[in-house]
Structure 1
Amino acid sequence: MFAAIRAFVAVVDEGGFAPAARRVGQAASSFTRHVDALEGELGVTLLNRSTRHVSLTDAGETYYVRAVAILASLEEANRSLRERDGPPRGLLRVSLPASFARMHIAPFLPRFMAEYPEVELELLMSDEIINLVERRIDIAIRLGALESSSLIARRLAPHRRIVCASPAYLHQWGTPAVPADLARHACLTFAFADGERRWRFTDSAKQVEQIRIKGPLRANQAEALKEAALAGYGVVMLPTWLVGEEIAQDSLRPILTEWQADIGRLGKPPQANSGIHALYLPDRRGSPKVRAFVDFLAQRFGSPPYWDRAL
């Protein structure tokens, strides 16, 4: 059946049976037989055919997207088996959250490239959650709680949030002693589509308290909130990887550290499995280049991660 799927994809890519056959030096009739057999197996028509050209049916469009992904995954599985016993080599496509990658991955890339000169890196730096199969991604670095999936996940570091403010702000307005005190402070927070603005705190007894907060700035970008906090405009809750350096330099001071802090969303429980993870498909498990990159990041981050050592 894989031969039939390959024939179907080739016909679509080349725009017809004859061009697909010419590309591989085979008879057009063999491609016709494969596609006919595939349509018979599926019980649907995949291609509209005329004497001059072919086009995809609605069912064909859906099947084509899946077929391309299947063939790409099969090719990667074959390549992984060929490479399994050799040194890390070949193209490695990595999806990375933009801000985290700029701060904590990009600075280490020259060293990785020096250690693994046969690996060719392609980085997709975006906060969009993308489909690894459709985009042919080898590794995705994800922040926060993991959704249930068939992907293999390796935890690289904890993903903690911390509440902090500048020394100048705390000197002027005082330091909150308990979460409820935040109701009287200017808080800088993320802008959610539903307008909900709550911070959630969990104490050592696992008691959860949600605090409705207000303040002069909402933003959908964490670095903007950090800059406002550094300038003394309020209290902010941000990941430790984003503010660890500022805390080490005493530009920001952590507060309410006896509680575990999180962004509170109504109807959602605290994120018990929140972390920084490397995700990859099961067929990438034995790939030397995947293993090399993930091991490299784990070693660079350390345990505890270097950005948490001042906390």
Structure 2
Amino acid sequence: MDRFAELKAFCLVAASGGFSPAARQLGVAASSVTRLVDALEKRVGTALLNRSTRKVTLTDSGQQYYASAQAILAQLDQADDAAAARHGQAGGLLRVSAPVTFSTMFIAPLLGELARRHPRLELDLHLSDAVSNMVDDSIDVAIRIGAAQQQPNLIARRLSGHQRVICASPAYLERHGTPEAPEDLLRHNCLLFSYGVARRGWRLQSQQAGAGFTELPVRGTLTINNSEMLRRAALDGVGIAMLPDWLVRGDLAAGTLQPLLGGYQANPGEMEIGLYAMYAANRRGSQAIKAFVDLLAEHLAQPLT
């Protein structure tokens, strides 16, 4: 049996806490993953996993073996990257996670060009507005919107800036009035994006030099983890939303949404945010990562429309 397949299956089970999620990532049946891990444990002569009906955890021996197995698989990836780099080829499987709406608008149009430029590249695209765990989900590249966060062993390549707009439909504003100051938002129905963490407020900063932040514990009747659904709710007059400028630019031009509090910059958290491609530092030589990220950066260098 393929020893590297055993290592891969074992590491995915350990990272995800179960055979079924590991099987989904590998695209095989859970029974196949079980056979691979059973064969590995038989070969090394000890149990590496504690199995229960609720979760799979590492044994003491398994914890030590897991660290070594991860290092081996990382070295294998580096060897593949180095070999591909010598021939200038981008090929193999590339797992990418990215936000849903952004991917639909800006990654989907690139798929044909990516296939033409790099016919040997296999793209496994995982769309979610939740922040993925790159290790647990075996993600090679994560496209993220937010503040640049220095993380050990990760490279964050800035692809473009990112701004958000507070906006509402003319119908909503006619019924409820137009907020003239940040504090007025507290009296409105604010449509909230669910970030998967305990963050419900909005932060606004006047564009005047030296201005501080205004933290607003806004509330509303709708919380969603998808920006396109927030946009549709705002268009239907449900409430006031804070949305990416590239998503609502056409709506603002058409007048179906109206920008609010134009003298303020708005974000849920940090003000200095952007769009980033995140990948492991030891994969900086990967031709597959370079091919995908370079094409996306090339596209985003043009105005986001």
Superposed displacement of residue 177, structure 1: 2.3
Question: What does residue 280 of structure 2 align with?
Answer: 281
* 1:234-245 equivalence runs, <5 A: 234-245=239-250
CA 1:147 to 1:253, structure 2 compared with 1: closer, same or farther past 3 Å? same
Give distance in 2, aligned partners of 1:63 and 1:282.
23
Q: Distance in 1 between matches of 2:94 and 2:174?
A: 49
TM-score (norm 2): 0.74
In the alignment, the residues of structure 1 paired with residue 235 and residue 58 of structure 2 have an alpha-carbon distance, to the nearest angstrom, of: 57
1:82-104 per-position Cα deviation (integer Å, ceiling 9, x unaligned): 11132322222212222322232
Question: Which residue of structure 2 lines up, in the alignment, with residue 306 of structure 1?
Answer: 304
Q: Shift of the alpha carbon at 1:19? A: 7.6
Residues in 1 aligned to 2:168 and 2:161: alpha-carbon distance in whole angstroms: 22
The answer for the alignment partner of 2:160 in structure 1 is: 157
Residues 202 and 259 in structure 1, CA contact (< 8 A), matched pair in contact too: yes
Q: 1:252: Cα distance to partner?
A: 1.3
Please report the TM-score for the alignment, with normalisation by the length of structure 1.
0.73
**Displacement of 1:134 after TM fit?**
4.5
Q: What is the aligned partner in structure 1 of residue 111 from structure 2?
A: 109
Query: What is the alpha-carbon distance in structure 2 between the residues aligned to residue 136 and residue 194 of structure 1?
Result: 22
Deviations 1:53-93 (A, max 9, x none): xxx97112223433332222111100111111323222222
Pick closer, same or farther for the CA change 1:225–1:126 going to 2, 3 Å: closer
1:218-263 per-residue CA deviation (whole Å, 9 max, x = no partner) reads: 3343333222210112211122233233223332121112111122
Conserved 8 A contact 2:169-2:235: yes
Name the amino acid aligned to 1:137.
I
Once the two structures are superposed, the pairs formed by residues 156-175 of structure 1 within 5 Å of their partners are: 156-175=159-178
In structure 2, runs of 5+ residues without a counterpart are 11-35, 49-56
Select 2:185's aligned residue among 179, 182, 185: 182
Q: 2:132 aligns with which of 130, 134, 137?
A: 130
Name the stretch that deviates more: 113-122 or 190-199: 190-199
178-187 or 74-83: which moved more?
178-187
CA distance in 1, matches of 2:141, 2:232: 31
SS at match of 1:201: strand
Residue 195 of structure 1 and its aligned partner are, at CA, apart by: 7.5
Matches for 1:169-248 after TM superposition, within 5 Å: 169-190=172-193, 197-204=200-207, 205-248=210-253
Structure 1 residues 3-45: Cα deviation after superposition (integer angstroms, max 9, x where no partner) = xx98x959x846458985xxxxxxxxxxxxxx6xxxxxxxxxx
Residue identity in the other structure for 1:306: L
Corresponding position of 2:14: none
Question: Which has the larger Rg?
Answer: 1
AA of the residue aligned to 2:202: W
Q: Is the 8 A contact 1:161 1:240 kept in 2?
A: yes
Aligned residues: 264
In structure 2, the CA distance between the partners of 1:114 and 1:163, relative to structure 1 (3 Å rule), is same
Q: CA deviation at 1:191?
A: 5.3
Query: Contact 1:9–1:67 (CA<8 Å) still a contact in 2?
Result: no
Q: Distance in 1 between matches of 2:104 and 2:199?
A: 29
Quickly say closer, same or farther: Cα 1:256–1:131, change in 2 above 3 A: same
Aligned residue in 2 for 1:91: 93
SS at match of 2:220: strand
Say if 2:159 and 2:274, in contact at 8 Å, map to a contact too: yes
Provide the secondary structure at the position in 2 that maps to 1:177: coil
1:59 aligns with 2:57: no
- 1:78 and 1:194 map into 2 onto residues whose CA distance is 37
CA RMSD, Structure 1 to Structure 2 (Å): 3.2
Q: Which runs of 5+ in 1 are unaligned?
A: 21-34, 36-45, 50-55, 264-269
Identical pairs, percent: 36
The 3 A distance-change label for structure 1 pair 180 and 79 is same
Write the letter of the residue equivalent to 2:277. A
1:64–1:215 distance in 2 versus 1, CA, 3 Å: same
